[in-house]
Structure formats: C-alpha cells, structure tokens
Amino acid sequence: MLRSLRNLSLAAVLFATPALAGDAVQDWGLAKAPPVPELKTLKLDPKTTALLVLDFVKQTCNQERRPRCLDTLKPSGVLLEKARAAHATVIYSVTATSAMTDVLPPMTAHEGEPHVQAPPDKFLNTDLDAMLKAKGIKTVIVIGTAIHGAILGTASQAAYRGYQVVVPVDGVSGDDPYTEQAVLRIMQTGPTLSAQVVLSRGELIGF
C-alpha cells in the first residue's frame, strides 16, 4: 500500500511538472525577437579604416535572387563615396563565379582599388589579410551581400583576427528580414563577435 502511494505521488509530480524545453525545431514557435539593437554613431580614422565592398554583383544582387540587396545600393554608394573622399582604403570582393565587371553601380570600383575573389569567407585563400596589414588597417567596415554568406563569413574572420568590425545595417542584405535579424543577433551576442563588432548605419559613420 505504501509503495502504491509513493508511485502515485511520483506520477503526480511528473505530470504536474511543466515539460522541459525541446530542441530548436520543437520550440520554433516559442522564439521571440530580442530587443532592437542599438546603432552606434562613429568617427573613424580613415588612415586605419578599410571599407570592404563584398559581392555587389548582378548574379546575386537582383530582383529575382535577392531583391532586398537592391535597396542597399543607394546608402552603400553614399558610404563608399564618403570613404573615398576621406582617402580610406577600399577593397572589393566578387564571388567565385563572377568578375569585377559584374559589380553593380553605384558600387563599381575605381582604378587601383584592389579586389579578391573567394567564397563567403573573403580571407580564405586570398591576400585580404596581407592587404589590410600592409595598410595598417585596424577597423573594417563590411557591406554587401549576402549577410548570411559573405558578410557573416568575412566579418567573423576579421573579428577573430583582431580587427574592429563595423556593420552598417543599411548596407547588408539577406534573403528575408528574419535572416538579416538572425545574423545581426549573432554578431551582437556571439563569442568574440560581441566584443569586436559594432552595428551602425551609413549615415552614422564619419571619418
């Protein structure tokens, strides 16, 4: 009789206890958006700052593939001209299946501005790190597409290498707002990234 009562008591506790959290897929509907990140106003030294212009090419930045990228062209073009006027370093990248002739206006390169051709991590098997070190660069501003590809890959690797990283939210794009927000959240909270990455907007960045 005593054993039966104990079993009943144990069962009551088990059924009364809220279910433990499941995995990310099971809890998909429970996810809530975090607070909107604070965007910083910055005054950067052009001598130690490089603008990385990543993959603004017609193959990926278009109405069919990634229409949100088209909305970043105007603010990115303004930031690009601001960086050039301040004589900051400008370095481009293109995808493995594109060329510099595929870069969309107003993001097209000026003569003498270098570029690398690489997968999403633009440091991988390229001279990007050597280019930055040769110029004494300490801060990189990363713009382009896709935020879950070239931006995340390159910004992360820059942070891991000790560079201060600035990501203007109006200069990066993904396939949809959720993807963009998810990557910004990772940059805002991830190990090392949270200490090295600053979120801003083109109009808030000065030299």
* pLDDT tens digit sequence for 68-80: 999 999 999 999 9
The answer to whether residue 25 sits within a structural domain is no
Contact between 182 and 21 under an 8 Å Cβ cutoff? The reply is: no
Looking at residue 14, its pLDDT comes to: 43
Instruction: Answer whether residue 20 is part of any domain.
Output: no
Answer for the pair 137, 163: CB distance below 8 angstroms, yes or no. yes
Q: Is residue 13 pLDDT above 50, yes or no?
A: no
Is 133 inside a domain boundary? yes
Domain assignment present for residue 3? The answer is: no
Give the model's pLDDT for residue 67. 97
| Domain region containing 100 | 38-206
CATH number reported for the structural domain that contains residue 184 in this entry:
3.40.50.850
- pLDDT confidence of residue 22: 84
Per-residue confidence (pLDDT) for residue 159, from 0 to 100: 98
At residue 129 the predicted structure's pLDDT band, cuts being 50, 70 and 90, is: very high
For residue range 145-179, list pLDDT tens digits in order. 999 999 999 999 999 999 999 999 999 999 999 99
Please compute the mean of the pLDDT values over residues 103-122 and round it to a whole number: 97
Region 63-92: mean pLDDT is 98
pTM higher than 0.75, yes or no?
A: yes
Rounded to 5 degrees, what angle do the CA atoms 43, 114, 56 make?
75
In this structure, is residue 18 part of a structural domain? no
pLDDT of residue 145: 97
Residue 69 CB neighbours (<10 A): 25
Structure tokens at 87: 């004589």
CB 111 within 8 A of CB 19: no
Is residue 10, in this structure, part of any structural domain at all?
no
Q: Number of folded domains in the chain?
A: 1
In a domain, 64, yes or no: yes
Q: For residue 20, what pLDDT is reported?
A: 58
The radius of gyration of the chain's CA atoms, rounded to the nearest angstrom, is 22
pLDDT value for 2: 42
CB atoms under 10 Å from CB of 35, counted, come to 6
